[in-house]
Structure formats: structure tokens, C-alpha cells
Amino acid sequence: MTGEKANSSLNTPSDRLMNGGEIVMQALRDNGVEHIFGYPGAAVLPIYDEIFQQEDIKHFLVRHEQGAGHAAEGYARSTGKVGVMLVTSGPGVTNSVTALQDALMDSIPIVCLSGQVPTSLIGTDAFQECDTVGITRPCTKHNFLVQHIDDLAKTIHLAFRIAAAGRPGPVLVDMPKDVLFASGTYVSPDKVSPLPSYQPAMQGDQNAIRAAVALMAEARRPIIYAGGGVINSGPEASRLLRELVDLTGFPITSTILGLGAYPATGPNWLRVAGQGGSHEANMAIGDCDLLIAIGARFDDLATSRIHEFSPHSKKIHIDIDASSINKRVPVDIGIQGDAAHVLADMLHAWRSLSSVPDQKRLRAWWTQIDHWRPRHSFSYERLDHTIMPQHALERLHALTKPHDPIIATEIGQQMWVAQFFGFDKPNRWITSGGLGTMGFGLPAALGAQLANPGRLVIDIAGDASVQTTMKELSTAIQHQAPIKIFILSDEHPGMARQWGQVPDGNGRSRAYSASLPDFTKLAEAYGAIGLRCESPRELDARIEEMINVDRPVLFDCRVARLADAHPQ
């Protein structure tokens, strides 16, 4: 028996030699990875040799490395887990940069495993060599160059911890080809010490929390401003946020990335704020006496002119990233900590007040907010013979809501979706908030669909942006991912056209109807289903047809050519 135990011990991953490819795959297993999005190349062939000899981890072959990155983002945003992408050296890395920067700006946890030329050739302008560490330093939370096989497992474990710790973000591990071919000892995650610099405080300062609650108790015109940090914290943070809103009676709005943190059907919801946001949300921010920002970074699209942003309010800012506090907007109380932890402590402090504030003191504030609501800032003209994009999205939302869909968008359709879709739960909304990446939606929807088989996943796209990553429809066909691509076809680069005509009223973009592909035929060429709708009367039936098809669908919805997203 003793001998059997000894032999078994020798066979554990931590006690036997492995080549680089084996180490990578074992490290991925030990970090809970089930899906990888990648594209092979010479520098990463040892990893692919191992991928094809196992079944624990599914590899999805994309058509471009940018698609791998956005698919990993969609996977992460829809599951709360770390997304993984695998690319080769040189152009494989450079093709990934847009996705890495997108993930950095939107705080999405991704681990990018990249191949590199052999260590002896680094710096010689070898075939498919690039300075991966130098190129990706500005667009990653951290990056590594592994120079010895015995550091490989440790580095991958650290990459996963860093990607998910604190404010999430992308981490890259660059692996030279000779390291992957070498043999070394595997080290399990529990034997790797964390990096001290990536251990942010999860619990907020209790004195600051009590001071914040004291301000909340005195406020007469408060508003809660939720950001993507609430969703990144996990489902518990969203639950606690709803509890805080119910307990205090405060109105609540959110950033673009915060949609779903509080239910859109909730009684205290003022809809999205910022550029393109609702009149009541923006007016309430401008007139409030207390602004409570939770997991929001006060970006320029949310604040506009910084000196005019909520000028009369005291401000509380809760964020896991200390560098975000007082970065753009000076605040009265800054609390560094995880949203769920801080919200739990705030609820406790509120309930511990010697005299719990009566919600009656907010009646005048709610009366004012109700006075702003009839402005109907998202209203539009309805036409009998032309589909307005707003109407298309209203009907899409109404018909898909019973299915609890996951919605991804391209950048030009982002604001319309934020206005006309209501998200009652977190992790249902996937968009490129910070970088505003054309082509994000299709591969992001693909990643979400592969992570959530059986769910209805829709990419709401434009006829220009969808073509930038259209090739990933082939990936969806190969892996039987029934994503729905709902194209608002207006024959223009819509957002660029609208913004281009703002200064002087003259558009500086041109229609390209003569060069647009026939999307229904294009869908059929890929092996997908192509649908087209040109009449408002046919819209509901066509959308139902799209929903009921268990295959990838390209839906060409012909909308008004010069419709704008308002307010602006």
C-alpha cells in the first residue's frame, strides 16, 4: 500500500516533468479553464499538439486574432470568468492589440497566451518576431516574457490571479518557442505566492463608510450612479445594490457598462445617464445634492464638460481601483474597496443609524424627477412604410424579453440599444464602452453563445461595423453556435455620419448602398440563415422567425437611412 501511494504521488502533475505544451494545458485546467479562443502558428504548435490530445478544454478556432480577443471578452462578460485567447508570434500578437486595449478600458479579465520566437533569436528581426512585451505593455494590466521552462506554470497562475484581482483586465504571457519545447517541473497554483502589488483592499475603510452613510442620511436630493464595477464584482454586488436602493428610496441611474446592475423595471430606475442618456437621469445628476458613484470611472461621455458635472453635489466614490478616485472628478469621500463588500457595510451602517431617515424627506425630489420624465427624451417619429431603428429595437426587445437574451452590440448601435432595451439582470449586456470598437459585437456574441449554450444571444450591428469581423460567422457555423446578428441597415456609417454633421449641419459621409453586399446571400454562402425585412408590418413575424431558428442567422433589417440617436 505504501509503495502504491508513493507511485501515485510521483504521478501527480507537481512531481513529474512536462514539456511546455503540457504545462500550459495543465495550468489552464488548474485555473478552471474550459474554453480557449485561438488561432495556431509555428510558435505555439507545442500547445496545439496537447490541445488535440485532450478533451477537458474546448478550443474554438477563430478566423482572426482580433476575433479571438473579442470572443474571450464576450465569454468573460457573460460568465464572470476569465476569458482565454491563444495566438502565435508576430502578426498573431499585433492582430490582438485592439481586443487587449478594449478589455483594458472596460475592465474585462482576459489571459492572452502568445507564442514568441526562440529566445536566442529575440531581437534579431527573426521571422514573425515582434516586441510583444513592448507593444502590449500599454494595453495590458500586466505582461510577462517567460524565459525559462520552470517559470512557465508559475507565470500562467499569476496571470489568472492578476487578470481577476481588483479592477479586472487583460494579462499577456509571452512564451518563446524553445521554452514550449523544453521540459520542466510543473508547479500547482497553491504553491505560487501572489504578487503584493496586485492585492487591492476588498474591504472599504469603515470610518469612510460611516461618513458616507451620514451624508446619505442628510441628503434631500440624492442619486446613485452605478457603473460596470458593480457587475464586475459579481451577482452579490447587484443584489446588494438593489437592497440599498429599496432601503433608502434613492433614485438610481448608471453608466453604459452599468446597465443590468439595477433592474430596468425597478421603480427607482431613471434609465441610463451621460451622452444619449435620459433627460431625467442627466437632470437629476446636475441638480442633486449628493452623488454616490459605485464602480464608475467618470469618463468623458458620462460627464461631458467636467467643470459643469453635478456642480452642487457632494460626491462619494466607491471603486476597487484607488487610482480612479479623484482622477477626473474631485470627490468628498473616496472609498477603495470591492463593490459587494462596501455595499454590505453601507447597508449595515444604514441600519445601525440611531434614527433611520424617513423616505418622506425625498418626496419633493421625486416630484421634481417626475416633472422631468414627460420630456420623453427617447421619442421618435413612427412611419407606416419605413422601419425606424428605434422601432426595430423596441420590437426586438419586446419579442425576445421572455427568452432572457444576452445582447451584444457594435459601437454605432450601442446608444439605441441602451435606450430601448431594458436589462433586469447583470451579465446580459455586452458592448465596447471605452474603446468603441467597430466589429466587437459579432465575435463577442460568439464567445457568449459558446459559454452559454441554449441561450438566445443576439448581436445588434450596423451594415458597416458587422463587415469588419464578418469572417467570425464562419466560426459560428463550424462550432454550431446559433448566434443571431440583427443588422440595422441604413447604408451609412451611421455614428460617423451623425457626428460629422453636428458642427455645421452638413454630413461628411456618403451612402455606400452600391457596394453593400446582399446580406441574405452572404449568410447563405457561409451556411447560415439569411432574413430580410423592409416593412414595419412584417417586422414581428420576421423577428419571431429569427428567434425560432436554431442556427446562426443574419437578419438584414432595412431601416430609415438618416435616423439619429438622440439626445446628444
The contacts of residue 190 (CB under 8 Å, 6+ apart) are none
- Tens of pLDDT, residues 536-547: 999 999 999 999
| Domain shared by 325 and 435, yes or no | no
Q: How confident is the model at residue 499 (pLDDT cuts 50, 70, 90)?
A: very low
Task: Point out the catalytic residue in the list 127, 480, 521, 568.
Answer: 127
Q: The domain spanning residue 524 has which CATH number?
A: 3.40.50.970
Over the stretch 417-469, which tens digit does the pLDDT of each residue have? 999 999 999 999 999 999 999 999 999 999 999 999 999 999 999 999 999 99
Q: In this structure, are 211 and 352 located in the same domain?
A: yes
Same domain, 364 and 435: no
Total-model pTM: 0.93
Mean pLDDT score, 165-183: 98
Averaged confidence pLDDT in the chain:
92
The answer on 167 and 128 residing in a single domain is: yes
Q: Which of 65, 280, 472, 491 is catalytic?
A: 65
Q: Which domain holds residue 360?
A: 206-375
Question: In the numeric block, which cell numbers belong to residue 236?
Answer: 452579490
338 and 394 assigned to the same domain:
no
pLDDT band at 254 (very low <50, low <70, confident <90, very high): very high
Q: Which of 348, 375, 402 is the last residue of a domain?
A: 375
**Burial grade of 419 (CB within 10 A; 0-12, 13-18, 19 or more):** buried
d(CA 162, CA 168): 8
Lowest mean pLDDT among 279-283, 335-339, 377-381, 503-507: 503-507
What band does 358 get if pLDDT is binned at 50, 70 and 90? confident
Confidence of residue 15 (pLDDT cuts 50, 70, 90): low
Residue pLDDT, tens place only, 274-327: 988 999 999 999 999 999 999 999 988 888 788 889 999 999 999 999 999 999
Hey, is 113 helix, strand or coil? strand
Predicted local distance difference test score (pLDDT) of residue 224: 99
The answer to whether position 86 is within a domain reads: yes
Active site residue 280: no
128 is a catalytic site residue: yes
CATH of the domain at 270: 3.40.50.1220
- How many domains, in total, are found in the chain? 3
Write out the E strands in 119-266. 142-145, 170-176, 183-185, 222-226, 252-254
Same domain? 368 vs 458: no
Round to whole Å and give the CA distance between 107 and 258: 12
What mean pLDDT is predicted for residues 252-260?
Answer: 97
**Segment 362-377 mean pLDDT:** 91
- Whether 9 has a pLDDT exceeding 50, the answer reads no
Kindly state whether residue 92 falls inside one of the protein's structural domains.
yes
Confidence of residue 354 (pLDDT cuts 50, 70, 90): confident
Same domain, 36 and 173: yes
Q: What is the DSSP letter of 387?
A: B
What local confidence, expressed as pLDDT, does residue 14 receive?
63
500, 540: one domain: yes
Residue after which a domain boundary falls, among 168, 197, 226: 197
Report the SS3 class of residue 353.
Answer: coil
Q: What is the mean pLDDT of residues 115-142?
A: 97
Residue 337 and residue 435 share a domain: no
Active-site residue, 141 included: no
Same domain, 243 and 224: yes
For residue 451 the three cell numbers come to: 459559454
| Whether residue 1 lies in the annotated active site | no
Catalytic-role residue among 154, 177, 314, 315:
177
pLDDT for the residue 24:
98
Q: Which of 18, 25, 283, 495 is catalytic?
A: 495
542 in a structural domain: yes
Verify that 338 and 482 share a domain, yes or no.
Answer: no
Decide if 547 is inside a domain.
yes
Q: Is 127 a catalytic residue?
A: yes
Give a yes or no: residue 288 inside a domain.
Answer: yes
